Chains A and B, each alone.
Chain A
Amino acid sequence: DGGITQSPKYLFRKEGQNVTLSCEQNLNHDAMYWYRQDPGQGLRLIYYSQIVNDFQKGDIAEGYSVSREKKESFPLTVTSAQKNPTAFYLCASSVAFSEQFFGPGTRLTVL
């Protein structure tokens, strides 16, 4: 089946730890995105990548890092510099400038 997978579904982190969220797609999409969603809020763009080995900061990139070494994969690292990382994280992919398809999300909780 074609689609986007994210893992893990739930993640718990201690303060001061870095954690990496996985996002994989087999849709052959060039563009991939990471969003953060807080309760009662819309989606806010963290990072996006339009091609392999290139990525751009979104509106709230501070405290996050990404890599795009393969077309299929766009992992997001939440670093200890992110002051309030507890949130629902969504990964998406698209053909450029077209509708985005979302993964199932990862819920990160900082203990």
Chain B
Amino acid sequence: EDKVVQSPLSLVVHEGDTVTLNCSYEVTNFRSLLWYKQEKKAPTFLFMLTSSGIEKKSGRLSSILDKKELFSILNITATQTGDSAVYLCAVTYSGAGSYQLTFGKGTKLSVIP
């Protein structure tokens, strides 16, 4: 059973639109949630979230975590074609006496002019 579920799996929007990507998780001993952007190469780090309700922001991207409802959202405003990528969510947690990390399957975002 998947511990980290991202939705939607794919999304097509027009430039200028605002999008919201979702990541829900089900783990015990949660430590952090991370967002990455992956173009046709290695993922690049966007945000790390550890506390509920505190928005992290970087330019047109922002993210927030809800530890009670076990989900996070990634918002992108005024989308550009350069935002086209797969966005990955990962959760770190402690399990069986060691550190665990699980990625979701990703959301493929396509921004068309």
Could you list which residues of chain A lie within 8 angstroms of chain B, going by C-beta atoms?
A: 31, 33, 35, 40-45, 48, 50, 56, 59, 90, 96-105
Contact = CB atoms under 8 A, between A and B. Distances in A.
A42 B99 contact: no
Given A48-B101, A90-B42, 5 more contacts: A33-B101, A42-B105, A42-B106, A101-B45, A104-B42
A97 B42 contact: no
Interface residues of B, number: 22
Given A43-B88, A97-B32, A105 B42 contact: yes
B99 A97 contact: yes
B45 A97 contact: no
B25 interface: no
B99 A96 contact: yes
Closest 7 CB pairs of A and B: A102-B42, A42-B103, A43-B103, A42-B105, A99-B45, A99-B48, A42-B106
11 contacts: A41-B106, A43-B103, A45-B102, A56-B99, A90-B42, A97-B32, A98-B32, A101-B45, A102-B44, A103-B42, A105-B41
Nearest to B10: A40
A45 B42 CA distance: 15
Most A CB contacts (10 A, CB to CB) among B42, B88, B92, B103 go to B42
B11 interface: no
B49 to A, nearest CB: 11
Given A97-B92, A99-B48, A104-B42, A56 B102 contact: no
Contacts of B41: 104-105
Nearest to A101: B45
Contacts of A48: 99, 101
A100 B42 contact: no
B28 interface: no
Most A CB contacts (10 A, CB to CB) among B6, B45, B88 go to B45
B58 interface: no
B27 interface: no
A30 to B, nearest CB: 11
Interface string B36-52: 00000111110010000
